[in-house]
Amino acid sequence: MKKLLIGLCLISAFTAHSVEAKGNIDLGIAYDLDVGVTAQFSRYSLFLNGDAAAFDVRLQNFYNDNKSLILYIDAGAFFEDREANNDVIEDRVGIRLPLGLQFGLDKNLYAYVQAVPHYDFNNDNDFDVDGAIGLRYRF
């Protein structure tokens, strides 16, 4: 519960700063490191849930002719607090390079899907590829 409150405080601060800076912020729900909330402002994306967090920065956008479909490349980091029953499992901390497609469903509503190659420093230096899917609304 404490982690969730910290996450909500971070999103609130992120939102307040973002709205003052430009006025456009995207908020939604996503399945990334499990189900959680997602926010995006300008080049920055944030994902939070009770056990995990990810922060990404947009490196490049590639648009189709009418800009209804965007292929993008992000770079970022993640943290995941893991525990199973009473067994000791290390938390995960690492870097990630999401590659995704974003497409509009309505004027202010869009969906995205991404492949997320990541390097986990805490799990025997493990390289793996996960996925994410989400829905965001632009305010």
Q: Which of the residue ranges 16-20, 65-69, 75-79 would you say has the lowest mean pLDDT?
A: 16-20
State what percent of residues in the chain have pLDDT above 90.
Answer: 58
Over the chain, what is the mean pLDDT? 83
**What are the tens digits of pLDDT across the range 43-72?**
999 999 988 999 999 999 999 988 789 999
Q: How confident is the model at residue 17 (pLDDT cuts 50, 70, 90)?
A: very low
Q: How many other CB atoms sit within 10 Å of the CB of residue 122?
A: 15
Q: How far apart are CA 32 and CA 36, in angstroms?
A: 7
pTM over 0.95? The answer is no
Q: Structure tokens of 64? A: 């189709």
Nearest to 72 by CA among 14, 17, 134, 9: 134
- Map out the domains of the chain as residue ranges: 2-138
More confident residue, 92 or 8: 92
Quick one: tokens of 125?
């230096």
Residues 85-107: tens digit of each pLDDT: 555 667 889 999 999 999 999 88
Q: Are 43 and 73 in contact (CB under 8 A)?
A: no
14 pLDDT exceeds 80? no
2-138: in CATH 3.40.50.970: no
pLDDT at 22 over 80: no
Quote the pLDDT of residue 89: 66
